[in-house]
Structure 1
């Protein structure tokens, strides 16, 4: 949530920051802003909505800070947009996170300072202005970070001394350097291509960017994968769907050895917990099913509800945590608590050196390249494949034939005729106000993922119903206006009775019939559903990359 980008160096800082923010918009696109220090002093430019592709009026400056916002405190207005400035114009801040006790702290300053926004962020600059008089800037910053509660990352620009300060607690923040240039970003993939070295801030770390950068343990950025898509499409979601085929080809030819190395932590005697949020959690549900097929009891838990199983966590627990960004705050919070109780942590993320990657005992790289669209596609599919390869490594199963069949099916899926069929199916959903998805067996997690996709990019109320559960309550919702999308293998007759029950109540049934690819059927089903939901969003006139009220990396509670 929210994107921060800052720069100090010999180039026009405002332009560098603007270009940096363009790469961070998936973190929030409610509003944007840039503060720059030029020869005529401080200038702030900000507005509501997404960043324009070009912008005028960026003053020549040697340092600047910028922000793209996902609103949490205060509505989507220009006054609530970052950066925020202190009354005396000395301090400027951009912030990602939530200051949970800001009302309490604000009450002590509101009679002295003029608050011009409804945000929690503005508190920072007024707090610094008030306390710098007594403690100096270093003391004021220390007092601030001791007294604020909640997860936060911020960059403060001191316009008087031309100093820049960066702080991280919970929410991610990364420094980068190239020669004498210093960059700061919320996002490692956006930063890495521009710099020679990177430094992810540690938890509760405050850095004086000007004087403290030379003392940091920098990491060479050439080890960070940041390849962009080879497909030229209007929407990131579309190109990310098409990338699945190429990624799969690379994985088929790669060894499966890394999964065997963690075998001792995945035995039936251990307490195994699979956790994630959103699409990552749905992949965990799929993993839970696969583990059960080889006699291992694993439990999938939504990370935000992790406290419910903390009493069961011990040194005999193995936690596999999935997060595309590696910064999902609910997953981080649960894993930190579990690790404190002795759990062994295996992480699967798509960003090397992310918070979860650094926290894990065994960090694994999803390795599917940058995923920009808010709705996860390729990351979800290859999280499922991770569990398939893990289970086959543990049980010595050979799925090479199914992998080749899956690859052939993908090649056909993205042909013009197949895409037309997907679009035709999507057109049947455009006039609907709700949708029921019916699944069973190992395709149940796919049903939850499908429901999520139609909700998040099509704004369609969708519910996944387990086939056998329909008659235990949900059948009461079925009538002549009900559209039910069944997802099943083409050679399965498991849902024949369910379909009859729906039709007997005059419900409309549309069948998605999948080829039987063994464990990989759910993966191919996800490819199909992603394509249909993408076209559904387009036909409704939505932007599937930027669904309303959502952001890609959820770093706030």
Structure 2
């Protein structure tokens, strides 16, 4: 969840500037402190609690403009061990400041290592688990072991998850290693980079190497060497990122989230490109090759991706397939029947979500066929699963997922059609129409007006049936994430089984009702229950039912298939949450306490 950046290169580049640019590119991941370490004849560390601007303000003028150091590492911290503070911020050093270390992950045996080091006379300055690493390295340096060997020995002692980078005094080298936490290397013309994610260095290079678990990297101004745990050189492939720094910018929008909401038509066109055969009413997913399904399908995911997984499981059950969606943190392959005939689908935007990766690894060990539905080419999920289905949403910087959720819904619709061979000309035509329908919503939405009316609500309820239920849950999650207001999502029929006790005249209920089916009629019945208790109702509807007559406000969506209408309806809920948060002055792109890529369990 923390962000790591590193650079080693020629004196033509200002190392501090590269590191600060990199940390700025990782702010979206969520953090509460930041720091940098420059290595020359000595280790120069600067770190500060708070936002990156606090660190920049604390830098001496001479440091901010210095160019003599050609190697450095930086870090944004999301607290796990110890509260946010200057002393707990990374990088951490050994007692003699010979080595500085940054770390993403959790060292599970840190207390044992810390006790061992304290008994040997080491004094700790922070509460973090990370600080054991530089002190371990320091003990090996004291024993006369060279830098790389000392780094490797320290890594060998660690249990848990980590992406770790270290620099040493008197050395123009970065040493790095990873296990269950992302780390990507950037190959540049005037130097080399490493980071937790590509946006940290995309303005400098688009050529990358993804480290695998158990691999080590040595970066110098001249080359990048990747080795395994024994020191044997590993053959690596350099991949080219298909987007640039401009794609990851705000493009004139006030917030990344608003930009990404408005990018959804483009994102879905990218998701659908080359995958629809309208003439024959078929879905063609070349990524899945000759994949065939024989047994049940299990989805594993977290947060927004879990809501997409619920949608995917509903799609498959409607097609006669036994399908369930599990919260990845609750998934236990020993307790849940999973075997060689099972298919386990991990839905993860980043492809690095720790809980989802653990669940997928359990499924792999159980012999199941695994599929990663992800946004990131070369991510851990994409590499470790048998198949990868990319959602093609492009970079998403806002912590609250928007375009990736719509792209996940769309990709899972394609997957359900492919697994069951149950496409149709009508569904394919409706999928093709979704980007234009979303654009219509973006052009005509009254969400901003409704946000003005209900910004002071005590709580917000979201209800829907069938394909709309996951969207109701997602609508509530968005409201919670970026407004810090209480919100809940329910299957419409469950409102009367308890939650109705919480409904008041200051609790707006957002009801999704599209089409004129029996499900729509039942949800209208639930709307009447709310209306009878004087709670305001906002109907998200295509107008095919008469729900509008019972609603205080209406958010319109174009008429479409019951499957695809939930993708479109969700956009109205995203806009409502955004405008409520905007009026409340919230930190929309970086909500408090949250991180974009959750790489710890």
TM-score range, shorter chain: over 0.9
- Aligned residue number for residue 541 of structure 1: 585
Is residue 219 from structure 1 mapped to residue 219 from structure 2 by the alignment?
no
Distance in 1 between the 2:196 and 2:318 partners? 40
- Aligned residue number for residue 487 of structure 1: 512
Query: Superposition pairs for residues 248-397 of structure 1, below 5 Å?
Result: 248-256=268-276, 258-259=284-285, 262=288, 265=291, 267=293, 269-307=294-332, 311-393=336-418, 394-397=421-424
- Aligned residue number for residue 243 of structure 1: 263
Query: Superposition pairs for residues 48-67 of structure 1, below 5 Å?
Result: 48-52=49-53, 56=61, 57-58=63-64, 59-60=66-67, 61-67=69-75
- Aligned residue number for residue 207 of structure 1: 217
- Aligned residue number for residue 165 of structure 1: 175
**Change beyond 3 A, Cα 1:310–1:188:** farther
Kept in 2, the 8 Å contact 1:224–1:352? The answer is: no
Distance in 1 between the 2:108 and 2:310 partners? 32
**Change beyond 3 A, Cα 1:172–1:471:** same
Distance in 1 between the 2:494 and 2:333 partners? 25
Is residue 116 from structure 1 mapped to residue 125 from structure 2 by the alignment?
yes
- Aligned residue number for residue 15 of structure 1: 17
Q: 2:113 aligns with which of 83, 89, 105?
A: 105
Deviation at 1:219, TM superposition (A): 2.8
Is residue 468 from structure 1 mapped to residue 493 from structure 2 by the alignment?
yes
Distance in 2 between the 1:436 and 1:212 partners? 52
- Aligned residue number for residue 551 of structure 1: 595
Deviation at 1:292, TM superposition (A): 1.5
Distance in 2 between the 1:260 and 1:164 partners? 39
CA deviation digits over 1:6-65, x for unaligned, max 9?
A: 0111022222111111111112331111111246x3221222222129664323211011
CA deviation digits over 1:400-447, x for unaligned, max 9?
A: 4423543343232222xx34x101212233212322212112100001
TM superposition score normalised by structure 1: 0.93
Deviation at 1:117, TM superposition (A): 1.4
Kept in 1, the 8 Å contact 2:104–2:163? The answer is: yes
Distance in 1 between the 2:537 and 2:343 partners? 42
- Aligned residue number for residue 155 of structure 1: 165
Distance in 2 between the 1:250 and 1:328 partners? 23
**Change beyond 3 A, Cα 1:110–1:466:** same
TM superposition score normalised by structure 2: 0.86
CA deviation digits over 1:75-115, x for unaligned, max 9?
A: 11111111112110101011111112222221222352222
Distance in 1 between the 2:424 and 2:458 partners? 44
**Change beyond 3 A, Cα 1:339–1:135:** farther
**Change beyond 3 A, Cα 1:284–1:432:** same
CA deviation digits over 1:178-209, x for unaligned, max 9?
A: 24622111113444553364222221222333
Deviation at 1:397, TM superposition (A): 1.1
SS for the counterpart of 2:522 is coil
Kept in 2, the 8 Å contact 1:192–1:221? The answer is: no
Kept in 2, the 8 Å contact 1:7–1:13? The answer is: yes
Distance in 2 between the 1:253 and 1:341 partners? 34
SS for the counterpart of 2:496 is helix
Deviation at 1:228, TM superposition (A): 3.6
**Change beyond 3 A, Cα 1:348–1:261:** closer
Distance in 2 between the 1:107 and 1:81 partners? 21
Q: 2:150 aligns with which of 140, 151, 171?
A: 140
Deviation at 1:541, TM superposition (A): 0.4
Query: Superposition pairs for residues 379-418 of structure 1, below 5 Å?
Result: 379-393=404-418, 394-398=421-425, 399-403=427-431, 405-415=433-443, 418=444
Kept in 2, the 8 Å contact 1:29–1:51? The answer is: no
Distance in 2 between the 1:375 and 1:157 partners? 34
- Aligned residue number for residue 560 of structure 2: 517
Kept in 1, the 8 Å contact 2:37–2:73? The answer is: yes
Kept in 2, the 8 Å contact 1:266–1:272? The answer is: no
Is residue 182 from structure 1 mapped to residue 202 from structure 2 by the alignment?
no
CA deviation digits over 1:293-320, x for unaligned, max 9?
A: 2211211111111116654111111111
SS for the counterpart of 2:331 is helix
**Change beyond 3 A, Cα 1:344–1:135:** farther
Gaps of 5+ in 1: none
Distance in 2 between the 1:305 and 1:213 partners? 38
- Aligned residue number for residue 73 of structure 1: 81
Cα RMSD (Å) of the superposition?
2.4
Kept in 2, the 8 Å contact 1:437–1:451? The answer is: yes
SS for the counterpart of 2:512 is strand
SS for the counterpart of 1:339 is helix
SS for the counterpart of 2:448 is helix
Deviation at 1:165, TM superposition (A): 1.1
Kept in 2, the 8 Å contact 1:197–1:219? The answer is: no
Kept in 2, the 8 Å contact 1:198–1:218? The answer is: no
SS for the counterpart of 1:352 is coil
Deviation at 1:258, TM superposition (A): 4.4
Deviation at 1:72, TM superposition (A): 1.2
- Aligned residue number for residue 528 of structure 1: 572
Total equivalences in the alignment: 552
Distance in 2 between the 1:99 and 1:220 partners? 30
142-151 or 352-361: which moved more?
142-151
